[in-house]
Each structure stands twice: as C-alpha cells, then as structure tokens.
Structure 1
Amino acid sequence: MKFQMHGRVLLLSLLLTSGAAFAADGAPKTAPATAPAPQAQRPGHAGIASANFLATNAGFEVLAKGGNAFDAAVAVASTLSVVEPESSGIGGGFMATLHIAKTGENVFIDARETAPMAVNPKDYLNPDGTPNRDAALKGPLSAGIPGEPAGLVLLAKKFGKLPLSVSLAPAIRTARDGFKPDPRLLHSIAEEQKNLERWPASVAKYLPGGKPPVAGEIWRDPDQARTWELIAQQGDAGFYRGETAQKLVDAVRAAGGNWTLEDLANYRAKERTPITIDYQGYKIVTAPPPSSGGVAIAEILNILRGYDLAKMDPAHRAHYIIEAMRRAFRDHNDYLGDPDFVKMPLDMLLSPYYADGLRQSILADQATPSSMLPHGPAHDPGMHTTHFSIIDKDGNMVGITSTVNYILGSTFVAKGTGVLLNDEMDDFALVPNKPNVYGLLGSKANAPVGGKRMLSSMSPSLVVGKDRSAVIGSPGGSTIITQVLEGILHFIDGQSAQQIVADKRFHHQFLPDEVFVEDGVFDAATSEQLRKMGYTLKPREPWGFMNVVTWDHRDNKLDAASDPRRPSGLGKVE
C-alpha cells in the first residue's frame, strides 16, 4: 500500500508540473467527445419531471403557449420558488446544463450566488476560533447575493421564445391567488419554526397568526408575486436595482448583514463551457466549476472505465464504485473553487492518465482508509435543493438544479419582497479543513472573497447516446454527485426513467469514512462481503428527489419520472 500511495503522489507531481491549459472560463481545453450524437429527429412531444406537480404543470402551460424547453424551465423554477421554498427559490441560485437542438450546442449557465464584497471570515468564527454555525446558516450573514433571477432572465432572453411576462405568469398567479402547501413544506416550516420566529418578516410569511399553516389551507405570498412581476416587467433591473434591491439591502443591513446596492447591481449570471466526457459509447455533459459535481463525476467515470462492472458480482461492483467516489471527493476537497478566482488543475483531474494512476491504488478486495485529511464529524448529507429535467418537442434539453442550501435557507425573509434568502455562505470553506453542514471539507481554493462564487455539488447532467438520451439530476447536498453518477450508470445499463429514480442508493464522500446505505441497496450477503473488505456501512433514511426525462431515439418516445420518495413530484409527458 505504501508503494501504491507513493506512486499516486509521483503521478500527481508529474501531472501538476507538466503544465495544464485552461479556457478563459476555467474549463479544460480537452479534445471534443467522440460519442455519437442522437439521431436527427424531434420527439414531437415533451417531458417534464419536477419536485412539485404545480411546477410541472406550469412548464406545460408555457409550452402550450408556444414556448420551448427554456421558457418552460423559467416557469418551473419560478413556480418552485413559490411552492417549494424549503429547497429553492428567488433568493437562491441554480446551475443549468442545456442542449440546443437547432445548433447541437451544449451550454452551462452558472447562476450561483456570490459573496458580498464586505464579507469577513471573522464573522463566521466563535471567540475560540471554531466555526460559528449559526452565523453561517441562519440570518442575513449566511446569505450570498442571489443568482436565480439573473439566471432565469438570461435563460429566457437568450434561449427562450416567449417574453418573461408569459413564462413567469404561472408563478405570479400561484403566489397571488394561493395554493395548498404539501406535507413536505408544512413539515419544513414546523421544523424551522424557532429560527423563523427570529425575523418578523419570516413570521409574517411562514407563521401567519404565529403558527405554521395547516394542511388544506390556501397559502398566499403577495410580496413574492410583486417581486416576480417586477422581474417580468423589467428583467434584471426588477430585482437587482430599484425598488426590490433597496428593500433587500435595507432589510439585510437592519438585521446585521452587509449587502450593498453595488453587490446586487454587479451580479451577473454566466455562461460556461460544460464538462463533456465519453463513457461506454455515451457522451456525458455535466457541470463545470464552481460546481464540483461534474469534475467528480468525470473523475469517477474515468476510473471506472478500466473495469467491466457488468461482469462483477454486486460486492465488487460496489467496491470499485465506492473507491472511485472516495478518490474523487478527496480531490474535491483539495483543489476546486470558483474558476474566476482560482486556478484548478482540471486537465489533471479530468485526464484518463490521472485516472489510470488512481486506479492502480485500488486493491481488489480491500477498502482504502480515508486517512489523508483530518477526520470531519458525520453530518446528514441533506436534501434541501431541487432539480428538474425537461425535453421539449424539438429535442431541446434542460437540466436545472436550484437551491437555497439548507432547509428554508437562512430562514430570513427580506421585508416587503417575499424573498427568502439562501444560506449559501456555508458552502465556502469558512474555516479551512473544517466540515460544513454536509460534512464536506474545503481548502483555500474555496475560501470566501467578495464577489466569489462558493463551491457547489449541483450536477445537472445530460447523457447522450445513439439510441437513448437522458436529463438527470437530484438534490441532496454532497450526495448529489453520487446520485447523479448512479443514475448515469443505471441509464447506461438500460433502465427506464421510473427505474432510475426509484433505485436504492449508496454514498461515500471520503470523510467521514463511511458508506451511507439506503435500506435494500445491498442484500445481506453483499453487505457482509463489503464489511469484510473493510467498509463501514451506515444505514440512513432514504435520500434524494431525482427527476429524470429519457428519450428513446429508436421509437422517438419520451419518458419522465419523479422520485417516489417524495409524493409531491410529477414526471409527465404530453
């Protein structure tokens, strides 16, 4: 083992000193993928899978008015902001992977939040130097500058066919006229009641009459309706300047935050080059930094391409996947950050030669201990994000993962706006090599700096093959990466959308050195064999809210499915 570890270090050193080329946006300059593109055809119908039936139906409403997948995405995201605020919304951000059918182009939109210019890491420390979890997760100091409004405006103006007033109409109507909250939202409000009670505007929105709403009641959000109306009328200026911007800054500063009008006015959603790799005859198009997800997924698949997983027994198949996960998450902790602020060795991390070296350190029948970094305490990987997938009648594809980070974000609502702020500042390495709420470690590459985007695990992905294609994504904090990976592997194995979202899951993220397992993912014999290899299996409640749309080019059929773990979701084809 010592020889193998030294070999890895030598390979790493050689790759680092050989020089890596980077595009202007931080993406690696790699050769174009050679996997076959889908056949030149149109589905003729559309599929949408999202976390809430009201959002899925909003997308179809906009398609019926002549919109495309990108207009539908605006409708779905904005409606989720109203009906699923525990997971995403107007006060958060998103990452999107797009396929434009007319040109064959793949595009990535980075609408990740940014740190305010006045950010001070000391604000997130206790007097003894330990992380102040409350400052990082609750209240205005925990909130980055939101990216969702700018991202949706960019999506509509550059790629959509309809004006924002049409695409945002379902969200505005739902917020103004009201809806019946689903059990998941009601539970989230009750769970966070004590935190919500700290902020008067949060009480007014989520605790009318001083208590959480009850099942069956109509719940309205007129302030958020007004904010979306301003965006529909004015675009970016409706949120980042003028009336809404002033209210946001006034509310944040009055509660001890440090936002300025300049922070909002300077925010920009960005187009970036997605990561594209080949695996078993498929082209996987996924998220680049500041997401760590696409790099990790690509690194894992590059390691796994050296094995014939289909011929392995279940224990050895799981063993090699777990070891690939372990190594990718270690590199996640060491290297990744905002490409506008840090240089990352992406050519190295995405190189098949680097994967060859990592593969050599994996023993055939033994787990590799995660002992290279200080051990972080175990944390629940979390589910407080959302993902939706869309394929329209012309073959345009959209995968969007959107978040406010933890459950109900910061729990802080800016008075007069209906905007629930995110708590994404916790996704920075506020204290290097100390775990965040998801148990992930970070380095200086992900340290907070004014205007910088915090690292994310969001991994909206497209899988494109000659016979079949798919849009895959999920919430789940650090488990997003492994869920999407497993979804890709299941799709390549030939599974349907319904099977992919229902499959049992396992997860390893380097530290803590445990394999999270969903009940039923391994049978008793496989579990025992993995334990004998040295793995610690840690059962936990079902996780994820995967939403998948598949396209079978052979019969031109779409299939859409929402994760059965959450009954509020809806996968629909029309």
Structure 2
Amino acid sequence: MRDFELPGRSLAVSRNAMAATSQPLATLTAIDILRNGGNAIDAAVAACAVQCVVEAGSTGIGGDCFALLSLGGSDKVLAYNGSGRAPAAATIEHLRSLGVSSLERTSPHSITIPGAVDAWTRLVADHGRMKMADILAPAIKLARDGYALPPRTAHDLAAEIATVSNDPTASRIFLVDGEAPAAGTVQYQRELADTLEAIGREGRDAFYRGPIAEEMVGFLNGLGGLHTLDDFANASGEYVTPVRTTFRGYDIHECPPNGQGIIALMILNILSHFPGSGDPLSPERLHIEVEATRLAYAARNRFVADPAKVDVPVDYLLSDALAKELAGMINPEKAIADLPDFDEVPHRDTIYLCVVDEDRNVVSFISSVFFPYGSGRMTPKSGVLFQNRGMSFSLDPAKANSIAPGKRPMHTIIPGMVTKAGKAVMPFGVMGGQYQAMGHAHFLSKVFDYGLDLQAAIDLPRLFPLPGTANVEMEHRLRATIGKEFEKRGFGVQEPQSAIGGAQAIWIDWETGVLKGGSDPRKDGMALGI
C-alpha cells in the first residue's frame, strides 16, 4: 500500500482499457484511438508516432522498434523485429578502404536503414482496425501546429546541444538561436508532418521508395554514406519467435537476438537461485542483482548479434546449467574481480509504451533512435532524424557483432511480456539503453519477490553496473544509504549522468477484470485507463 504522505503517484486503475507511455500527449492519443474504435495495435502506433514528434530525442521515424503482442490475452505471444540493417555495401574492407577506423556517432556509417515505419505499417495491416492516415493524424497535427516541449525532453535536449548544433536542420528545428529551449517552448516539425501525412496516405512505400527515400539517400551519400535506394526499398522487419524463461511461476517473454532481451532472462535465471526476502533495497540483495547483471552482460557482448548472420547459442545462454554455474561465481560479500572482456555498448535513450484494449489485445512496444537525438543528422525536406544504431557494430571481423552487408546490429531496446496459466498478465518495459536488461530483471524481482505494486516497483531508486568494470552508477537515494557499503565490497560508486531509465507496465487482473498501470516519474508520462 502506498504511503499517501510521501510524494509520488498512485497506480492507474480501470476496467475497460489502458495505455502507459512516457509522454502525456502520447498516452492521451492512445486513449482517444481506443475510444474511437481502434484496438491496442492502432493505439500503440499512434502513441509512438506522437512521441516521434514530442519526444524526438528518444524516438523517430529514422529509428527502429520491437513489439510483443498477445491477441485476446493469449499466452501465445507474437514478437516483431523492426530493426534496420546495414547498407549492402557496408563491408569492413570497404569501410577501411575509406579510412574508417571506428563507427562514430555522427558518421553516416553509424546510420542503419530505419525499420520503424515498415514495422508500423506491417503491424497495423496485420492486426489493426483503423486506417494509417487516422492513426497518424494526431502526430501530424502536433508536428504541424506545434507542441510545448516537456520538462524531461527539454533536459535531455540541453545535454545534446553540441550534437544537434552540428546539423543545420536539426539545429533549426530543435534549438532557439543555437541554445537549448526551456521547457514549455513551442516547437514545430512541419517537414515531418508532411512525411507522416504521406505515410498515412500511401503506406510504407511513401517512406522507402520515391521522393522521400531519394532525399534520404542523397542526404546520406552527401555525407559519405554507402546507402542506396535498394537498401531502403528492401527494408523489411519480421515476425520472430520470442525467447522465454520461467521466474517465480510466471513465464517471461522477450524478443530474441539481435535484441538483448535474452540477457534479461539470463539475469532472472541467475536470480532464481537467490530468493528475495527482507528489504528489496538492502546492500545484500542489490549486490546479488549487480553481480548477476555483470555476469550476464559479459555473455551479452560475446554472443548477442544478428542470428541471421552468426550463430547465437540461445539454448546455452538460457540453460539451467549456465545459470547455476554463473550463480556459483557470486561472492555475496565481495565484487567479482575478473569478468570476460567485451566491447563497450553505449547507454542511451528510448521510448517504451504498452496498451491493453477492451478485447484484451496486449501490446508491449519499444522504439528508439539510440543516442538522444540519434546521429544528429536530419534531412531538410522530409524532417527525418536518423538513428546511430550502427555504432553498436564492431569493425573487428572476429566479433559476433561485426558489421556486414544487410546485418542488424545488437540492440539494447527490449519490450517484455509476462504470462501465466494461458493468459497474458503484464506488458512491461524499462527504457535506458543497455540498462534495460537489468531493469527488466530488477523490476520483475521487486514485483514477484517482494510483492510491490507496479508503481511502487517503478518508483524505487536504481543502480547499474557499467559493463566491463566494477563501477556502479547509483541514483542519489541509494548512494546515501548503501554507497559506502558497496565501496567496502570492492565496487566503485558513481553518480549517473541523469536518472536511470524509465518504465511502464500494465497488470491484467483476469478475475476482476481490472487493469492496473504504472508509469515512471523519471519521465514526463503517465498511465491512464478508461
């Protein structure tokens, strides 16, 4: 039960339908779509499109997305991989011949073909009820008529002035006289409005073929990129089989590699050997969670890549034997000194949302441009801000995640779904770049081990071990209570650049018909039901 004398927010509750996003306008858009006859798929895409406008630093049509779907509340979960691929000419040899020694953030070689629009149109065509033009109408109106910049978005933009200033179109759209705008400043993205309108009218081909694609390819080629019209025309996501584990009697579903959802399941498998009890924020418990994360992330960067291009040992990574072996490496009193070496994968930004409709269609949906404001590169006529997801690739041919033609990079963004006894019971997600796998496990442990409600679990202070090190980022509430104890155990404790992650979740109570939703106070959004 929430302590109503403390700052915070209550669970959202309703009986009919619910949406939870990191932006109020996106949540309201999802609810309006549901009220106007759309289903959860329609509402999720509409909400994401709105966030592409009002939270452009986190997501956009120049980025990627993943989704988990339960139709009618079934435990037969569908997964969709909407991540984009490297250009067909992007071989290590070709890049090296061009003098490329690393994949830098603003380089055109960090820009993979965007997969989001293809995913939106495919999911709506297969499972939606409404026309794409009607789904995108709220986002188009906001982009054309203007929107007020939300506080967290303004905070994130202020930290990215250097990147945004590097591109004349991005600077014109997002900055005011070269400076970061204050929260409440009205912004417009009229070029993006026209592009969204074309997608609503003509479908995916409006983006991947024709004048918009020609502008994107010409723009990227002008920067030295290897992208072609064929790369865009051939862009295609796919339905994939989710990966799954069982934790405390619940089945946890994640998208398979090239996403890192399998790492969340690995952490849960390790934690299954350490039953939760007592204080969920005790140094003893958080020590176990940190070490489970460090071990699982070591495996992540050795193995997680595009399974269409390399062998990813899914069965091995999810095996009980490996979980037991890794759990046995944890010393409950001291940090593990030696972990496998792996390349750094940056910790960046994303949006996550979930929707449950009156027919109990359930959508867990995540979308991203990777770093805040992605590559910082924006087309002047179509208003497409490109992701920099290709930075996750390696130029070392011995690495599983080495760049190759048509290959998808390892992705940090992961939607989650919980089922039990034949029913979907909770779509959930935790934003925050590579934190997400730990965030999934941390959140689920707090709900299933400690009995916290969704909002209470989301509100708890967070920590995250920086991969490959014994350094742990801690939000200030934890630094004040357990920071010194962690240092005694051999960890380095440091302040994060900003609040860690952001989460949304909706619980489905099948006995009462009630929906309960939570939304992270670290973001601007909310959960809302009807």
Please give the TM-score of this superposition, normalised by the length of structure 2: 0.90
Task: State which of 370, 391, 394 in structure 2 corresponds to 1:426.
Answer: 391
**Is 1:349 aligned with 2:317?**
yes
Amino acid at match of 1:304: L
Residue number in structure 1 paired with 2:120? 152
Greater displacement, 92-101 / 119-128: 119-128
Superposed, 1:104-123 pairs within 5 Å as 104-121=75-92
Give a deviation string over 1:290-324, Cα, whole Å, max 9, x none: 102x2111111112212222268833322322221
* 1:122 to partner: Cα distance: 6.8
Cα distance between partner residues in 2 of 1:213 and 1:308: 47
**Is 1:381 aligned with 2:381?**
no
Residue number in structure 2 paired with 1:301? 268
Cα distance between partner residues in 2 of 1:288 and 1:327: 19
Amino acid at match of 1:479: Y
Superposed, 1:13-162 pairs within 5 Å as 44-101=15-72, 104-121=75-92, 131=102, 136-162=104-130
**Cα contact 1:287–1:458 (8 A) shared by 2:** no
Cα distance between partner residues in 2 of 1:187 and 1:367: 34
* 1:396 to partner: Cα distance: 1.6
Change (3 A) 1:444 1:527: same
Work out the number of aligned pairs and report it: 513
Residue number in structure 2 paired with 1:482? 438
Q: Over the residues paired in the alignment, what is the CA RMSD in angstroms?
A: 2.6
Give a deviation string over 1:236-294, Cα, whole Å, max 9, x none: 111111121111111111222221100001110111111121111111111210102x2
Task: State which of 556, 560, 563 in structure 1 corresponds to 2:513.
Answer: 556
Change (3 A) 1:234 1:510: same
Give 3-state SS (helix, strand or coil) of 1:81's partner: helix
Give a deviation string over 1:418-442, Cα, whole Å, max 9, x none: 110111111112457xxxxxxxxxx
Cα distance between partner residues in 1 of 2:474 and 2:96: 33
Please give the TM-score of this superposition, normalised by the length of structure 1: 0.83
Cα distance between partner residues in 1 of 2:35 and 2:327: 49
Cα distance between partner residues in 2 of 1:544 and 1:210: 28
Cα distance between partner residues in 1 of 2:151 and 2:410: 31
Amino acid at match of 1:390: V
Cα distance between partner residues in 2 of 1:367 and 1:188: 33
* 1:564 to partner: Cα distance: 0.9
Change (3 A) 1:369 1:192: same
Residue number in structure 1 paired with 2:243? 275
Change (3 A) 1:247 1:499: same
**Cα contact 2:479–2:493 (8 A) shared by 1:** no
Superposed, 1:275-354 pairs within 5 Å as 275-292=243-260, 294-310=261-277, 314-354=282-322
Change (3 A) 1:109 1:501: same
Superposed, 1:177-256 pairs within 5 Å as 177-207=145-175, 212-213=180-181, 215-256=183-224
Cα distance between partner residues in 1 of 2:94 and 2:151: 35
Superposed, 1:510-525 pairs within 5 Å as 510-521=467-478, 524=481
Give a deviation string over 1:436-465, Cα, whole Å, max 9, x none: xxxxxxx61101111111001212111224
Give a deviation string over 1:105-138, Cα, whole Å, max 9, x none: 201111112111122447877999863xxx5201
Cα distance between partner residues in 2 of 1:74 and 1:171: 10
Cα distance between partner residues in 1 of 2:287 and 2:105: 35
Change (3 A) 1:149 1:512: same
Amino acid at match of 1:235: G
**Is 1:498 aligned with 2:455?**
yes
**Cα contact 1:81–1:90 (8 A) shared by 2:** yes
Change (3 A) 1:358 1:371: closer
Amino acid at match of 2:475: E
Give a deviation string over 1:506-532, Cα, whole Å, max 9, x none: 2225412222222223774x5454444
Residue number in structure 2 paired with 1:20? none
Residue number in structure 1 paired with 2:375? 410
Change (3 A) 1:417 1:319: same
